[in-house]
């Protein structure tokens, strides 16, 4: 084996996707093309052959796909996974002696220096390949070898030597002398489409009642399902639905003292009525929740449940497992703090507890319990305050019995921490989108998210608002800001979400100047929303979501490309779907107050647009159509009427009538 290694000449480096030298799996989804790349080269000038190898974990054999040389010794191949689970990939390569011989033969013929010895060299390679057991193929290879061995350079011999069918036959049977296989075996976790492409709507069930001041129920949420589905969302996300503690319960606007009718924060989980395995009695029963899951599916919605691993002082675990919590010097349990903020109504779990194994198992059972009710999407609250090792263990554990489970990490924390959580198994991740406002900020951030190495392990989920975050842009920008931020979230990312009805009704009142907290936040009180408000953005949201569903280019993250404009308040970008050969161009006015205009520059060849002919731009929001010509075109956007365009590009006009009609 050592002697064999000494004669191996090929080098394989920089395989992608490979996350942290194979420490973590990359991400892919059903229906998505997995592109594998590698730097492959050797000494000298010989031609090489390379194969992508892949198999589902546990399968005995590998599937092989030829790799193609792209540029600068970078090779590429792709495959589409056939099922959920973890896939192994590898790359093997070798010096292709026959292809090298054919290339040199053509060069010598063109230069007029071809000799009979050159043909005989090819005959030798063919005889090495033509093993007796190959039958008819052996006879075909031997026949060409005899022709090349005849000692005369004839047109027939040259035609046979350069025949494409012969090359394919040799490629199929030839030995891979001194082949090199990549030293590691990277893995890719394949999840269902919803992990890659989704539109989320968040609502508080206790605010779902049609009558003011009544505590909403899960049955009220069922009545709200057509409203949510009608806007084109496919995931309905509910904050925690568990019993809420009374000890140190917070009042309206996070007041330290709660009144007798204050419902408390849903994230202060646990009371005498139960903990993480229970439904708040005011919301209904477990049977009501199962009915909600079933009814949601009937209108095309999945229920996503918030999983918050923390407890109120009244949670049963506090009494039954006091060792799962950190204690202060006086023996009392340490409540949650983010100085100077104090959260006396919440006890965080201690992941350094001596009883960590039982704690981990109990938390896994929370996921499995709700999975058994039909939930397959989990939004995890503050995962960055729990041990990374726990997530690396529990997510594959849950997916082992429920391979279609999807996990969203709500972690607004430092970039490297967010990235580690994504590597640890979370299907999707919250991002800093809410705080990226200028064209330069958005471009820099999303080029980071949509390019290697981040694209290999993180799928962004973009939220213009959450119950915790009312960004300044929404506080001061009016209705136009809400529309432009939704347009950005829904098209920059394949997955996005809004906290409603606060979003579509334009809720923009902060608790105080300089705060991102809502005034009269639903986190601490019940709200009644006028869903029939004529200023609601529900129709606009529905049009945007319809464009997302009908255009595969908007269902991906890795295909995002930005384009130059001569006005820094206009952001222009495109997405292209290779399978359908369709492209979408988005232009957004980032100024919510004033009309902005400018020229945009498009790479027509990259978008496969004929540079010599006009092309049609179909705005999927207004349904207007425009005829553009050439790479440079003019845009004008009034935020009061049109914060942006989602253009579907029609690359070729069939007739002059098309041109006349759309003008």
Q: Could you list the active site residues?
A: 381, 410
Q: Are 639 and 480 in contact (CB under 8 A)?
A: yes
End-to-end CA distance of the chain: 72
- Let me know how long the chain is: 663
* Spatial CA neighbour of 563 closest among 553, 573, 576: 573
Radius of gyration of the CA atoms of the chain, in A:
30
Query: Tokens 């082992």 appear where?
Result: 400
The rounded distance, in Å, linking the Cα atoms of 421 and 61 is 32
**125 phi and psi angles, rounded to 5 deg:** -65, -40
Q: What angle do CA 51, 53, 55 make, to 5 degrees?
A: 165
Number of other CB atoms surrounding residue 529 within 10 Å: 19
Show contacts of 175-178: CB within 8 Å, 24+ apart.
Answer: 175/128, 175/129, 176/49, 176/92, 176/94, 177/94, 177/95, 177/97, 178/4, 178/7, 178/8, 178/9, 178/10, 178/94, 178/95
**Quick one: tokens of 323?**
């060792």
Beta-carbon contacts of residue 590 (< 8 Å; ≥ 6 apart)? 437, 438, 439, 442, 484, 569, 570, 571, 596
SS3 121: helix
The CA-based diameter of the chain, rounded to the nearest angstrom, is: 104
Facing residues of 646 across strands?
A: 586
Q: Are 30 and 192 in contact (CB under 8 A)?
A: yes
| Residue 515 CA to its chain's centroid (Å) | 31
The rounded distance, in Å, linking the Cα atoms of 551 and 542 is 14
The rounded distance, in Å, linking the Cα atoms of 527 and 204 is 9
User: b/e per residue, 546-574, with b = 16+ CB within 10 A?
Assistant: ebbeebbbbbbbbbbbbbebebebbbbbb
What are the angstrom distances between the C-alpha of 200 and each of 221, 303, 586? 15, 10, 21
**Quick one: tokens of 414?**
């430092």
- Helices and strands in the chain, H and E counts: 17, 30
């Amino acid at each position: 084996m050592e002697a064999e290694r000494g004669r191996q000449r090929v080098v394989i480096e920089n395989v992608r996707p490979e996350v942290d030298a194979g420490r973590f799996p990359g991400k892919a989804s059903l229906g998505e093309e997995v592109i594998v790349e590698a730097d492959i080269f050797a000494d000298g000038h010989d031609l090489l052959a390379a194969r992508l190898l892949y198999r589902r974990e546990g399968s005995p054999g590998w599937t092989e796909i030829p790799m193609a040389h792209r540029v600068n010794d970078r090779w590429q191949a792709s495959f589409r996974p056939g099922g959920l689970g973890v896939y192994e990939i590898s790359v093997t390569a070798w010096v292709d002696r026959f292809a090298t011989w054919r290339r040199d033969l053509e060069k010598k013929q063109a230069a007029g220096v071809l000799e009979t010895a050159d043909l005989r060299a090819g005959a030798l390679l063919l005889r090495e390949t033509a093993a007796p057991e190959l039958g008819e193929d052996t006879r075909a290879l031997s026949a060409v070898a005899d022709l090349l061995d005849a000692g005369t350079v004839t047109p027939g011999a040259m035609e046979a030597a350069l025949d494409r069918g012969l090359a394919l036959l040799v490629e199929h049977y030839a030995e891979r002398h001194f082949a090199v296989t990549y030293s590691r075996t990277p893995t890719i976790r394949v999840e269902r489409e919803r992990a890659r492409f989704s539109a989320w709507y968040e609502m508080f069930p206790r605010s779902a009642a049609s009558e003011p001041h009544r505590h909403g129920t899960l049955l009220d949420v069922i009545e709200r399902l057509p409203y949510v589905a009608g806007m084109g969302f496919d995931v309905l996300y509910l904050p925690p639905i568990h019993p809420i503690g009374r000890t140190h319960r917070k009042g309206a606007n996070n007041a330290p003292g709660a009144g007798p009718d204050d419902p408390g924060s849903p994230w202060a989980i646990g009371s005498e009525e139960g903990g993480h395995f229970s439904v708040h009695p005011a919301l209904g029963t477990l049977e009501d929740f199962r009915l909600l899951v079933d009814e949601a599916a009937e209108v095309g919605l999945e229920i996503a449940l918030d999983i918050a691993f923390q407890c109120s002082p009244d949670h049963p675990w506090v009494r039954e497992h006091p060792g799962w919590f950190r204690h202060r010097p006086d023996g009392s349990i340490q409540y949650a703090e983010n100085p100077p903020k104090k959260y006396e109504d919440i006890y965080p779990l201690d992941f350094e507890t001596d009883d960590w194994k039982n704690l981990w198992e109990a938390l896994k059972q929370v996921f499995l319990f709700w999975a058994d009710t039909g939930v397959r999407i989990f939004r995890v609250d503050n995962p960055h305050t729990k041990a990374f090792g726990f997530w690396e263990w529990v997510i594959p554990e849950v997916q082992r019995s429920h391979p279609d489970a999807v996990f969203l990490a709500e972690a607004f924390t430092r970039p490297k921490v967010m990235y580690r959580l994504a590597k640890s198994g979370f299907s999707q991740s919250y991002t800093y989108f809410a705080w990226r406002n200028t064209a330069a900020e958005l471009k820099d951030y999303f080029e980071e998210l949509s390019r290697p190495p981040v694209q290999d392990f993180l799928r962004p989920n973009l939220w213009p608002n959450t119950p915790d975050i009312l960004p300044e842009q929404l506080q001061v920008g009016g209705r136009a800001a809400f529309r432009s931020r939704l347009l950005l979230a829904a098209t920059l990312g394949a997955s996005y979400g809004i906290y409603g009805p606060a979003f579509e009704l334009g809720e923009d009142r902060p608790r105080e100047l300089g705060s991102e907290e809502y005034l009269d936040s639903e986190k601490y009180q019940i709200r009644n929303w006028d869903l029939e408000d004529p200023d609601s953005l529900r129709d606009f949201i529905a049009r945007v979501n319809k464009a997302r569903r009908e255009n595969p280019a908007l269902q991906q993250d890795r295909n995002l490309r930005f384009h130059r404009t001569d006005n820094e308040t206009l952001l222009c970008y495109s997405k292209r779907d290779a399978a359908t050969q369709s492209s979408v161009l988005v232009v957004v006015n980032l100024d919510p107050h004033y009309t902005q205009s400018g020229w945009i520059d498009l790479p027509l060849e990259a978008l496969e647009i004929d540079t010599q002919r006009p092309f049609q731009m179909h705005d999927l929001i207004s349904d207007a159509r425009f005829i553009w010509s050439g790479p440079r075109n003019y845009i004008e956007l009034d935020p009061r009427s049109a914060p942006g365009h989602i253009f579907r590009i029609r690359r070729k006009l069939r007739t002059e009538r098309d041109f006349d009609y759309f003008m």
